[in-house]
Chain A
Amino acid sequence: MGPIGFLVVFFAWPVLAIVGRGFAAGGLDVVLGDPQTWRLAGFTVATAAGSTVVAVLAGLPVAFLLARAKLPGVGLARTLVLVPFVLPTVVVGLAFRALWPDGGVLPIVLANAFFNVAVVARTVAGLWARLDSRTSDAARALGASPWRAFRSVTLPALAPAIASAAAVVFLFCATSFGVVLILGGARYRTLETEIYLRTVDLLDLSGASALSLIQFAAVVAALVVGGLARRRKEGARIGSGAVRRPRGGEWWVVGAAGVVLALLLTPIVALLAESVSASDGWSLAGYRALAGTGEKGALQVSGWDAALNSLKVAIDATLLALIVGVLASVVLVALRRSPARAARGLGETLDAALMLPLGVSAVTVGFGYLVTLDALPGDLRTSPYLVPLAQALVIIPLIVRMVLPVLRSVDVRLRQAASTLGASPLRVWREIDLPLTLRPLVAAAGFGFVVALGEFGATSFLARPTSPTLPVAIASLMGRPGELNNQMAYAACALLMLVTVLAVALIDRLGAARGRVGEF
């Protein structure tokens, strides 16, 4: 019950405490009855759904490329596609603002999709690579066109992965904050930005609570849909998919994937260009400045120290999330396998509940910490350990999503056989479960690490000035005047991308099973 205790103390309690204060203050009915509130909710759901559709449409061809095409550069594409996922929102927001100076709905939808194409591409590719290709070959042999074979055989088999990824993407988009703030300005607001505004600027906790409840309902709905779709996953025929050179119409798909990758790379290239351009031409001043603290000491530590701190915090967060996530997955698998119906139901509820941290506003959690954690010994509210704790909260759901299916697929009979032959439970775990799950575990850890590296919402709330992470340092640099600070911010982004690419490349190697990193 350790993992559940962790989530209760560091998630449920703070969130309920802050929402409870809003309840106590009253006036919830006024907010819930305000048509404005429902317009906000509608706008939030509509833009998140729009971004999800765009991310799925863009992600599918890339998934095909990653899973089925034998072409040079596919490995590189697999790594690069994850880079947008960790870019600081303020930077991506500004990059999109450069293209759409007036902001608006379209750039919001596209920017949110931009962050999440990787989730779709890598999740779907993971299943696609393991999908038995004989079924669709049979369909082709019986005269189906490639499109028809895809539509009636492959697509239904991929549906669980697509739905699962879409649920996660929807959650990320529905709760995205910085992008909406920068691109929507004052005109377009979502539940998340309004919760932030009411909590942080207006101290209108009852209003924020009412909006949190609506957001919560939307999140639960997305989880239920995702959960229903995942349950069908077991139905997909798993075999070994053939990886070969694309032929015929498949080149169109590869072309589409190429276009998507090029579009994803555009903002990345643009910000690399920003990092080397000064008002009087090209300059590496931003990179050199990483050794210092910025113009007029914009940071309290050097850029390199911030990078080092990012690595440390992300490692701590990953280890913590791995421990909690794996324990939680083991419990969930046991509950799911239990003969008792009630236990299975409990397992499914917990499974969904573990995803909730993704759908609750960082500001709600952050303010919740302030009003609750002083009750724990050692007053964690001001502890530097709070940053890895908060990041772990964000990663745990992702780790569970990645580890759970693998653990579930370990054949019970192997374990039973081992026990019958006299192995202790520990030995069974060591000899059977561990070898079978090690690689996916490494991959999950790697993905968690990458997410922790880029995490901004919770971190910015809790990080101390003497130990900022890179995204926090980038935001502080952007928030101060001076050309050098601006260049240094972009150079720090480049550094963040580099670290990400290296981490993903390493993990992809270790977790050699194709396309396992970033799969839900």
Chain B
Amino acid sequence: MKRRAVRAATAIAAVSVVTAACSLSDGSGDTKQTPTVTLVTHDSFLAPQEVLDAFQQQSGIKISVLKQGDAGSLTNKLVLTKANPVGDVAYGVDSTFASRALAEGVFEPYTSPEADRGPQRYAVDPEHRLSAVDVGDVCVNVDTNYFTAKGIPAPESYDDLADPKYKDLLVAEDPATASPGLAFLLGTVAKYGEAGWKDYWTKLKANGLKVVSGWEEAYTKDFSGSSGKGPRPIVVSYASSPAAEVGDDGKPRTKALLDTCYRQVEYAGVLAGGKQEENARKVVDFLLSQQFQATVAANMYVYPTRQGVDLPAGWAQVAPLPQKPQALTADQVQAGREKWIGEWRTLVQ
């Protein structure tokens, strides 16, 4: 009898905890006085709350962030919802997907007064529907300790990766499922041209290239220079990755090969058909402003497009911006992407 009472009491207690914690019933009493602009972005978006709060103080606009997958999935969601967009501003459509978004009429023209401080360099669209917010480079990274220990020089160029000296050392991502993989493929297309990239990949394959589906596996499991201590000392990652691999001695364990980089530019724009055009423009200005641009390196491992923005300490040595990265125009990418991925699949798998 007693045990039953205890059980009943536990049950009641559990039920009350459950009901109390239920958040469906909590109306987090936000009085909707401040206008809220919804910023649709990709999963890697990160901005310090203080900076967003400061913007709200200054402009009276609250930014509500809505993450929608990676750059590709973000773009496709924007295309699908263009008749009635889920937000007012989008940030994160990159140079590989920009043409699709522009062709589908997702964005409307807006020239930000902030754009001439640098972002203009990366303009893709004469109508100024997209403003460049950041640039990042996908580069081959190497585990420097591995090559020091083996007493062989680390590779430096695309050609080196196909050199038998570096057999079975490279791990890359599938261009169909991972954006660094796609960028690496595009880099080889830019480097060797329509005529030569397939030959290059045939050599890579013969040289023991390993392909995995995502950056996480490549970098944290296969690569030897990061936490996973995997077997392969060469990986396709980002120019900025070494900044995350600085040891207690202040020295990075890894290095990006600056001759193997492909540039990705990420853009922001005002969504056509959004409900608060005026405020949305102010958010685009904010994304290009000194305050926001100063946060992108430390938070998203990309470089600001604005000139004269300080990088985090040490980036100049550890994660310098490549001087001559490979690049294709948005139109070239749009025209070739699916075809190249298809050809790559038949060739490499």
CA distance A509 to B9 in the complex (A): 13
A185 touches B213 (CB 8 A): yes
**Interface flags, A491-520, vs B, CB<8A=1, else 0:** 000000000000000100110100000000
CB distance from B48 to the nearest CB of A (A): 7
- The answer to whether A465 and B220 touch (CB under 8 A), given A185-B212, A201-B72, is no
A315 at the interface (CB under 8 A from B): yes
Assembled-state Cα–Cα distance A478/B216 (Å)? 6
CB distance from A41 to the nearest CB of B (A): 18
| Bound Cα distance from A385 to B100, whole angstroms | 31
- Is A97 a contact partner of B217 (Cβ separation < 8 A)? yes
Instruction: Determine whether the beta carbon of B174 is less than 8 Å from that of A200.
Output: no
Closest chain-A Cβ to B207's Cβ sits at a distance in Å of: 16
Interface string of B214-225 (1 = CB under 8 A from A): 111101111000
Taking a contact as CB atoms closer than 8 A, the residue among B11, B176, B215 that contacts A197 in the complex is: B176
Tell me if B221 and A201 are in contact (CB < 8 A). Answer: no
A160 shortest CB reach to chain B, Å: 30
Whether a CB of chain B sits under 8 angstroms from the CB of A50 is no
Size category of the A interface is 35 or more
A340 interface contact, C-beta 8 A: no
Q: Cα distance A379–B275 when bound, in Å?
A: 13
Contacts of B84 in A (CB 8 A): 374
Contact: A200 with B80, CB < 8 Å?
no
Most buried by B among A98, A187, A466, A482: A482
A97 and B221 form a contact (CB under 8 A): yes
Interface 9-residue window, one of A116-124, A262-270, A294-302, A398-406 = A294-302
* Inter-chain contact A481/B226, CB cutoff 8 Å: yes
A487 partner residues in chain B, CB cutoff 8 A: 227
For residue B5, CB closer than 8 A to chain A, the reply is no
Residue in contact with B21 in the complex, picked from A185, A279, A312, CB distance below 8 Å: A312
Q: How far is B231's CA from A93's CA once the two chains are assembled, in angstroms?
A: 18
The answer to whether B222 and A101 have CB atoms under 8 Å apart is yes
Which A residues between 299 and 319 are near B, CB-CB below 8 angstroms? 300, 311-313, 315-316, 319
When the two chains form their complex, are residues A185 and B237 in contact, meaning their CB atoms are under 8 A apart? no
- What's the Cα separation between A184 and B177 when bound, in Å? 12
Q: Determine whether the beta carbon of A481 is less than 8 Å from that of B23.
A: no
A103, A187, A319, A370: the one contacting B86 at CB < 8 Å is A370
Contact present for B219 and A481 (CB under 8 Å): yes
Chain A residue nearest in CB terms to B104: A203
A234: interface (CB < 8 Å): no
B76 x A200 contact (CB < 8 A): yes
Given A316-B23, A371-B80, A510-B174 contact (CB < 8 Å): no
Query: Would you call A483 and B87 a contact (CB within 8 A)?
Result: no
B66-A382 in contact (CB<8A): yes
Q: Are B345 and A486 in contact (CB under 8 A)?
A: no
Chain A facing B: main interface SS: helix
Hey, which chain A residues are within 8 Å of B164, CB to CB?
Answer: none
* Inter-chain contact A479/B77, CB cutoff 8 Å: no
Beta-carbon contacts under 8 Å, B68-97 to A? 69, 72-73, 76-77, 79-81, 84, 86-87
**A201-B24 CB under 8 A given contacts A185-B211, A464-B66, A465-B45:** no
Per a CB cutoff under 8 Å, which of B10, B23, B48, B244 touches A313? B23
In the assembly, what is the distance between CA of A367 and CA of B214, in Å?
22
Q: Judge whether B24 and A388 touch: CB under 8 Å.
A: yes
Distance between Cα atoms of A478 and B81 in the complex (Å): 29
Check: B125 CB closer than 8 A to any chain A CB.
Answer: no
CA distance A458 to B21 in the complex (A): 22
Q: Does A426 contact B (CB under 8 A)?
A: no
Chain A residue nearest to B67 in the complex (CB): A465
Q: Is the CB of A506 within 8 A of B299?
A: no
B241 touches A (CB below 8 Å): yes
| A487 CA / B86 CA spacing, docked (Å) | 35
Contact (Cβ within 8 A) B298 A296: yes
A200 touches which one: B11, B73, B219, B222 (CB < 8 A)?
B73
| Residue B206 interfacial (CB < 8 Å) | no
Contacts A182-B217, A442-B11, A481-B219: A316 and B22 contacting too (C-beta < 8 A)?
yes
Least CB distance, B330 to chain A, in whole angstroms? 16
A381 an interface residue at 8 Å Cβ cutoff?
Answer: yes
Cα A214 to Cα B10 with chains together (Å): 47
Residues of A within 8 A of B219 (CB): 481
Is A154 in contact with chain B by the CB < 8 A criterion?
no
Tell me whether A186 and B349 are in contact in the complex, defined as CB-CB below 8 angstroms, given that A94-B220, A382-B86, A482-B244 are known contacts: yes
Q: A185-B211, A201-B72, A296-B299 are in contact. Are A486 and B11 (CB under 8 A)?
A: no
Q: Are B24's CB and A510's CB within 8 A?
A: no
Chain B residues numbered 187-216 whose CB sits less than 8 Å from any CB in chain A: 210-216
Instruction: Please report which residues of chain A, range 310-345, place their CB below 8 angstroms from some CB of chain B when the two chains form the complex.
Output: 311-313, 315-316, 319-320
Nearest A residue (CB) for B76: A203
For chain B, residues 18 to 51, give those with C-beta under 8 angstroms from any C-beta of chain A: 18, 21-24, 38, 43-46, 48-49
- Expressed in whole angstroms, the minimum distance between the Cβ of A44 and any Cβ of chain B is 17
Is the CB–CB distance between B244 and A311 below 8 Å? no
* A488 CB → nearest B CB, Å: 11
Expressed in whole angstroms, the Cα–Cα distance for A472 and B76 within the complex equals 21
- 26 A-B pairs within 8 Å (CB atoms) are namely A93-B217, A94-B220, A94-B221, A97-B217, A97-B221, A98-B221, A181-B213, A182-B217, A185-B211, A185-B212, A201-B73, A203-B80, A203-B100, A295-B244, A296-B244, A298-B46, A300-B49, A311-B21, A313-B23, A381-B81, A381-B86, A461-B69, A466-B65, A480-B244, A483-B227, A506-B14
Known pairs A94-B220, A461-B69; list 9 more (Cβ under 8 Å).
A103-B212, A181-B177, A187-B349, A297-B46, A316-B23, A370-B86, A464-B65, A465-B67, A509-B10
Which A residues lie at the B interface, using CB under 8 A?
A: 90, 93-94, 97-98, 101-103, 181-182, 184-187, 197, 199-203, 278-279, 295-298, 300, 311-313, 315-316, 319-320, 367, 370-371, 374, 379, 381-382, 385, 388, 442, 461, 464-466, 476, 478-483, 486-487, 506, 509-510, 512
Q: Which 10 A-B pairs have the closest CB atoms?
A: A481-B244, A186-B174, A483-B227, A482-B244, A486-B227, A200-B73, A312-B23, A203-B76, A374-B84, A185-B213
